[in-house]
Amino acid sequence: MFMVLLFNSFLLLILEVPLYRSLLKKSFGELEVLKGIDFCAKEKEIISIVGASGAGKSTLLQILGSLSKPDSGKVLIDNTDIFSLSADKLSDFRNRHIGFVFQFHHLLPEFTALENVMIPALIAKDSPIDAKKRAVEILKSVGLGSRLEHKPSELSGGEQQRVAIARAIINNPSVIFADEPSGNLDSQTKGEIHRLFFDLRDLYGQTIIIVTHDNELAQMSDRILKMKDGLFI
């Protein structure tokens, strides 16, 4: 199972091992954003992290995803202490083991939907043939089989986010971190994207950790964690 552990100064994300307690801390100057977090996630679990703006949700997600370092604590994913890796090895590990979905899709405008999804696989040195085959399969699974050659400007907001989700899945990561993935979408499209996360979890088996202000999405999740002032409550 996939888990996130925090021991006294220790955050652990790991597969097929029980998760225990730990304290994760992060400050920016004198502002203490994370004050000590206990966190555990099981394999294939969808968890929503909720709370008011400024509670520390996005900072926590950035640390879990290796985009920011904690002041104290460790992050282990697949038995790897990710912050002990060199910059190059961490970048490679992130590309292979972690997927990201953001509020804004961050697609490259000059590339087609298919090409955007292939990029992480090509970075991982998969063959172009294998990368294309996998990307086509995933784009079909998110309902974009007829939009493979469309560029982002030719896609709706919901379609762009589907491409971003497909890109997050292409390397079959252990975990996907999603930061307000439906925050920029209309209500109907939000519902479609929310259901898509669950369909893809069942199809591909990732653990998905979502930061959201959307109560509908949170209530659909396997578990809700509430944050306030840098702590879970």
User: Of 34-38, 104-108, 127-131, which range is least confident?
Assistant: 34-38
Give me the pLDDT at residue 127, please: 96
Give me the pLDDT at residue 23, please: 63
Q: Which amino acid is at 71?
A: D
Between strands 223-228 and 46-50, the pairing is: parallel
Task: Collapse the DSSP code of 54 into the 3-class scheme (helix H, G, I; strand E, B; otherwise coil) and give the result.
Answer: coil
Q: Which residue has the higher pLDDT, 88 or 9?
A: 88
Encode pLDDT of 27-78 as tens digits: 777 777 787 776 777 888 999 999 888 888 888 888 888 888 888 777 777 7
Residues 6+ apart with CB under 8 A from 224: 47, 48, 49, 50, 218
Q: How far apart are CA 233 and CA 225, in angstroms?
A: 8
Specify the pTM.
0.84
pLDDT over 50 at 135, yes or no: yes
Give me the pLDDT at residue 25, please: 64
Do residues 19 and 5 touch, judged by C-beta distance below 8 A? yes
Q: How far apart are CA 24 and CA 150, in angstroms?
A: 42
Per-residue confidence band for 24, with pLDDT thresholds at 50, 70 and 90? low
Query: Residue length, the chain?
Result: 233
The mean of the pLDDT values for the chain is: 83
Per-residue confidence band for 4, with pLDDT thresholds at 50, 70 and 90? very low
pLDDT over 80 at 97, yes or no: yes
Per-residue confidence band for 26, with pLDDT thresholds at 50, 70 and 90? low
Q: Which of 196, 167, 209, 168 lies closest to 43, judged by CA?
A: 209
Encode pLDDT of 139-155 as tens digits: 999 999 999 999 999 99
Give just the sign of the alpha carbon dihedral 67, 74, 59, 30: negative
Domains defined along the chain, listed by start: 41-69+84-232 (3.40.50.300)
Give me the pLDDT at residue 162, please: 93
Do residues 176 and 140 touch, judged by C-beta distance below 8 A? no
